[in-house]
Structure 1
Amino acid sequence: MRALSEHPNDSVPQATQQASKSQSIYRFWSNPRIQARQILASHRPSVVARVNAERVVLAIQDTTDLDFSSLQQTSGLGFICQTQQQGIKVHSCFAVSGDGEPLGVLHQHTWSRAERAGKRQSRRQRPTGEKESQRWLDTLTAAEPGVDDSVCLVHVGDREADIYDLFVQPRRAHSELLIRAAHNRKVEGELGYLIPTLAQAPIQGQLSVEVARNPQRPARQATLTLRAMTLTIAVPRNGKQAPAAQPVQLNAVLAEETQPPADGSQPIRWMLLTTLPVETFEQACQCVRWYSRRWLIERFHFTLKSGCRIEQLQLETAERLCNALATYSIVAWRLMWLTYHARVAPDDACDAILQTAEWRLLRRRFEPKNRSKKPPTIRQAVRWIAQLGGFLARKGDGEPGLKTLWRGLGVLHHLLEGAQLAAKR
């Protein structure tokens, strides 16, 4: 784990620099007695400890595909979309503090599809337990053990999580739901359906939120108009719910940009269903702010794919790939954690995140005349690491991102290894 964390953007042989060490990692992943869930289980106690130190924690769920189509000889892969692409589907639960600090992976589920496409016509007629949608319910249950009752655990999901069975799934005390609605559900009231009912709710006010960039839009500030109300969701008519299923009362928030963005991107329109209170404007704003942090799990998946290059691995079975995924998931969390602390605690001493030999080498590289024994700040150390990865550190460049950080970490530890070898001569 240490070797891969120090060289996240390198292959295993590049990260270890020794054939014996590389072989030990590959043997670990291929050991039939080792399973991915055990690797993540070793990470979970420290995650839960960080969770229990917070007042509010967002348990964000999302699914991504790992494409291993180039591995023609690898067994256990399945279809990941409607094409012939082969790979593994991954559903993760990533814990984030209410303020956005990455806390770690609470749960991860992987599977392979045996068929390229499902039976769409009969999908609504099948119970949730027979569909891939069951992963949302199982992950909610798996994320909660060990979390103190004093912690408000908010389960956050995108439109795929708009599932009636998830709304009625048993949860621990002080666990809440915050789900983006996908369906115009049947609700009690004169208008009869969710969208028109929520659209006529009174406006509570406006809120400015930071919208993260994605392939379809750049990062920007968005001004959202908020509406909120309490409503009752009817039992789906086409589903296979239990005979005793009852309507469920939820709170709803509609957050939308009434003015189209100047950059021409699609205006935001979030329709949120939640068990959190929305009686006041501030409560509705809190729901929107917390949902806006859902992009962090997308950043986690991006770090896995681009930073740790998980899709570049060439292993012989899907089981070995899943063991590697579990290992790199911990590495990806640590990269995000370093980036977060550089932005929220920039003036703290960097010895909280770097070893003495690491920050001393950085100072020798960038401030060779500085003889201070006091460690630099986190912000300064992270900027130096990012400069090793290609960050230019100009006045208008802002703070470094994940890409330059993971590149710089690899360079830093290659320099450190070289310095240690030179010292032994």
Structure 2
Amino acid sequence: MKQTSFEWAQASFGHVNLNDPRRTKRLVSLASSLAKQPGVSVAKLNYSPSEMEGAYRFIRNDSIQATDIADAGFQTTIQKAKEHDLLLALEDSTTLYFSHVSVEEELGHGNRKRSKDRALIAHSILLFAPNSQSVIGLAEQRLWTRNINSRGQKAQRAVRAYEDKESYKWELASRNMAERFGSEMSKVLSVCDREADLYEYLSYKSVHNQRFVVRSMQSRYIEECSEKLYDYVSRLKPAGGKRIHIPQRGGRKSRVAELEITYAPVTVRAPAKKTGEGISLYYVGCTERGREEDKLTWHLLTSETITNAADAHRIISYYERRWLVEDYHKTWKTEGTNVESLRMQTQNNLERMITILAFIATRLLELRFIKENKELARRSCEGTLSNRAWKLLWLKQESRELPATAPDMDWLYKNLATLGGWKDTKRTGRASVKVLWEGWFRLQTILEGYELAKSLESDL
């Protein structure tokens, strides 16, 4: 986060090949401006008339492929990932809805029942380094539309080829990521929710020695006995407990859950209507104690070797981070870059803008994550702000003299949010991404003003 918006845009997209260096320069300029003011439409950017016309020419240029922009961003993420020994590839899908008439005929249906809704589907892989507790960036993202005439096709899934089903997205995402990482793929561990509990996907990951943690969706037959997985593991001896915090979300109140941990090696059989070998995995389970209704229960399948309770705890801690990709999608769609408010005239124009904003959203998520991690909150803010920047923020926000050492990240979070206009009226202690980024933007303005004043002072 020490990078300016321009430095970030240059690092992310400055190496892209768009068959004309002027296009690359325009992309960097546009990404930099959007990163300074996330959620603001192109029409409201601080551009001259000629710059505005250049930005719109770029967005409307069908010679520029959104996939080329995305590939440049992915390669930047891969380079950053090389600094880490272990990476969690947090995966999830989301639906982007657009209501304006101009793109309705080009887009497909989403998950909503109302037939008039038009949507793009996105599958994303967000890299997270657990040892340094840091968000690295996007390693993969694919956009597609569903044929508006294909509603109800789910009922025919049993007769369709695996590669023709939307569920193939999990394997395709892993294939694309493996191609980018090459030999470095061995340090990547995919973390997926129940939708990825597919025999074909688990088989692919196992055959290619790719690491994963997948939450089980169904109680499959296993070779260890003649019964199903959940029946078998219900008799396992507990291997200790774990306490986790379940955040408030929707109508659910936050709470601390006491979990009972179990683990065992298992071999998952191929489904009755499919051919294939059994898949040797490890099972890790956790069930909330002392709660009958709405209790937390996770059945996790993993390629990682589990020989003791510490190993099981580690797998659960990896799965706990999966919510970050959901927060990423929320930041991208509505709470940060607001892609669902875009009003591009064609699907191609829409995808170019969506792709640029997808990478800006990962930058915004870094600020949001400060509050969600206690270890990170206690670290010095000098890892995020320059020495001059945190001192200027202190002088702006505090009515006392500068401390001898930089304050922690928790202080940075609160004061950036306050600078951005946060009042904490709901008493949650959590600020929105928009507020945090507004505070960040104002701090950069203060820093630029200070640098300009010092420069003028030296010239006089």
What TM-score range do you get, normalising by the shorter chain?
0.7 to 0.9
Post-superposition offset of 1:50: 2.6
Tell me which of 140, 144, 149 is aligned to 1:111.
144
Partners of 2:103 and 2:347 within 8 A in 1: no
**Partner of 2:152: helix, strand, or coil?**
coil
- Cα deviations across residues 358-402 of structure 1 (Å, max 9, x unaligned)? 6576456435886899987655444332112222489x8746453
- Contact kept in structure 2, 1:211 and 1:292, CA below 8 Å: no
Counterpart CA distance in 1 for 2:206 and 2:225 is 31
Give matches, 1:18-417, under 5 Å.
Answer: 18-81=48-111, 82-84=113-115, 85-99=117-131, 100-115=133-148, 117-144=151-178, 145-146=180-181, 148-149=183-184, 152-169=187-204, 175-239=210-274, 241=275, 245-260=276-291, 266-305=294-333, 306-340=335-369, 344=376, 347-350=379-382, 353-354=384-385, 362-363=393-394, 365-366=396-397, 379-392=410-423, 398=429, 400-412=431-443
Aligned 8 A contact 2:102 2:345 in 1: no
Partner SS for 2:243: strand
SS, match of residue 204 in structure 1: coil
Instruction: Give the deviation of 1:14 after TM superposition.
Output: 2.8
What is the TM-score of this pair, normalised by structure 2?
0.80
Question: Which secondary structure does the structure 2 equivalent of 1:253 belong to?
Answer: strand
Q: Decide whether aligned partners of structure 1 residues 399 and 120 sit closer, same or farther in structure 2, where only a CA change above 3 A counts.
A: closer
Per the TM alignment, residue 114 of structure 1 is displaced from its structure 2 partner at its CA by 0.8
Q: How many positions carry a matched residue from both structures?
A: 415
Deviations 1:331-382 (A, max 9, x none): 11111223445761655354x5457886576456435886899987655444
SS of 2:159's equivalent?
coil
Cα distance change, pair 357–278 in 1 and its aligned pair in 2 (3 A): closer
Within 1, Cα distance between the matches of 2:268 and 2:207? 22
Higher relative contact order (CA 8 A, sep 6+): 1
Query: Which whole-Å CA distance do the structure 1 matches of 2:156 and 2:226 have between them?
Result: 29
Identity of aligned residues (%): 24
Larger mean CA deviation between 397-406 and 161-170 belongs to 397-406
Kindly indicate whether the alpha-carbon contact (under 8 Å) linking 1:74 and 1:318 is maintained by their aligned counterparts in 2: no
1:196-215: CA deviation from partner (whole Å, max 9, x where unpaired): 11212221111112334432
1:134 Cα deviation after fit: 0.8
Distance 1:62 1:149 in 2: 22
Segments of 5+ residues of structure 2 without an aligned counterpart are: 1-30
Q: Where does the alignment leave 5 or more consecutive residues of structure 1 unmatched?
A: none
Given the superposition, is the C-alpha separation of residues 201 and 11 from structure 1 closer, same or farther in structure 2, using an over 3 Å criterion? Answer: same
Whichever residue aligns with residue 420 of structure 2, its letter is G
In terms of fraction of residues, the more helix-rich structure is 2
Moved more, 247-256 or 42-51: 42-51
TM-score of the aligned structures, taking structure 1 as reference length:
0.86
Distance in 2 of aligned mates of 1:207 and 1:196: 22
